[in-house]
Amino acid sequence: MHRFFVPSESRSGHHVTLTGDIAHQIARVLRLRGNEEIVLIPTDGADAVEWRVRLVLVEARAVRGEIVAERPALPEPTCAVTLCAALLKGERFDWLLQKATELGVAAIQPIVTAHTIRKVAPDDGHALERWRRIVTEAAEQSGRGRVPTLRGPVPLDGLADAVAAPLFVAHETVAARTLAEAIPAEADRVAVAIGPEGGFSGREVERLVAEAGAIPVSLGPRVLRAETAAITAVTLVMAETANLAPPRERAWGDIRDI
């Protein structure tokens, strides 16, 4: 079933009303019809839940439906990962945002480094809104119960203030230990910094160590493209903290019983 994040106020009793872009997508893009079902996830509710909704009225300006069942949303990883990723050219950063969201990151902090080619201002509303759409759609597609926090870009020297988690910086010159070896299995929050095309400079790594207490780590014997490195790092953290196991069964409960 198609899934959408919606504000809690979309619901009134056992009924929901959707307007704006979501209504347009349901009616005009997906061309859903009455009696078909979708899943809605309230973005600002006290509890992480999913609503199974049977469509009653489908129009471009407004879609109405009846909630027929509820169930708990898919739990978030026990380790909250903040991916601190340098901005990349073209659509490569879009791809990174999408895949990191699918893997379960809690937050994404774009960074600007010495080798960063692409420049995006911290208050660039157009870029931020586009990125938010990407991570929202990726969270919907991958079955997540929440959308990752997406922050505005910061310069590398501001990373220490922007991230409140143990910071690991991936660099191809590190030979002492890998990220997998450095991550404690019981870690509940981790930040990983990934450089741009050309990677971090040696001086930048030194500054992160000195100013942010970062731990330099390796991602393996081969030099990875920036977007590959980001996804590899997130996957390693999820694996080392036991967050890649299949989900437990989440049965739908009849709305009349809730």
Beta-carbon neighbour count of residue 57 at 10 Å?
11
* Listed residue (99, 127, 12, 17) closest to 4, CA to CA: 17
pLDDT tens for 36-80 read 999 999 988 667 899 999 999 999 999 999 999 999 999 999 999
Can you tell me the distance from the alpha carbon of 132 to that of 81, in angstroms, rounded to the nearest whole number?
Answer: 17
> Rounded mean pLDDT of 187-196?
97
What was the pLDDT predicted at 228? 97
Question: HEC states along 191-249?
Answer: EEEECCCCCCCHHHHHHHHHHHCCEEEECCCCCCCHHHHHHHHHHHHHHHCCCCCCCCC
What was the pLDDT predicted at 46? 63
Q: At what angle do helices 92-103 and 226-240 cross, to 10 degrees?
A: 10
Can you tell me the distance from the alpha carbon of 200 to that of 113, in angstroms, rounded to the nearest whole number?
Answer: 7
Beta-carbon neighbour count of residue 96 at 10 Å?
26
Under CATH, which number does the domain 3-73 receive?
Answer: 2.40.240.20
Q: At what angle do helices 92-103 and 125-142 cross, to 10 degrees?
A: 40
CA distances (Å), origin 37, targets 16, 31, 256: 13, 12, 17
pLDDT tens for 102-149 read 999 999 999 999 999 888 888 888 999 999 999 999 999 999 999 999
Q: Where do we find the tokens 């014997």? A: 221
CATH topology of domain 80-240: Alpha/beta knot (3.40.1280)
Whether the predicted pLDDT of 258 surpasses 70: no
Q: Residues near 197 by Cβ (< 8 Å), separated by ≥ 6? A: 88, 89, 115, 117, 225, 226
- Across the chain, where does the E strand assignment appear? 3-6, 11-12, 15-19, 37-42, 49-58, 62-72, 80-86, 107-112, 149-150, 154-155, 167-170, 189-194, 215-217, 253-254
> Rounded mean pLDDT of 165-188?
93
> Rounded mean pLDDT of 186-201?
96
Structure tokens at 93: 């950063």
Q: Where do we find the tokens 């590190």? A: 174
pLDDT tens for 228-248 read 999 999 999 999 999 999 988
Residue spans per domain, the chain: 3-73, 80-240
Confidence class for position 176, pLDDT limits 50, 70, 90: confident
Mapped onto helix, strand or coil, the DSSP state of residue 82 is strand
Integer Rg of the chain from CA: 20
What was the pLDDT predicted at 256? 57
What was the pLDDT predicted at 98? 98
What was the pLDDT predicted at 123? 83
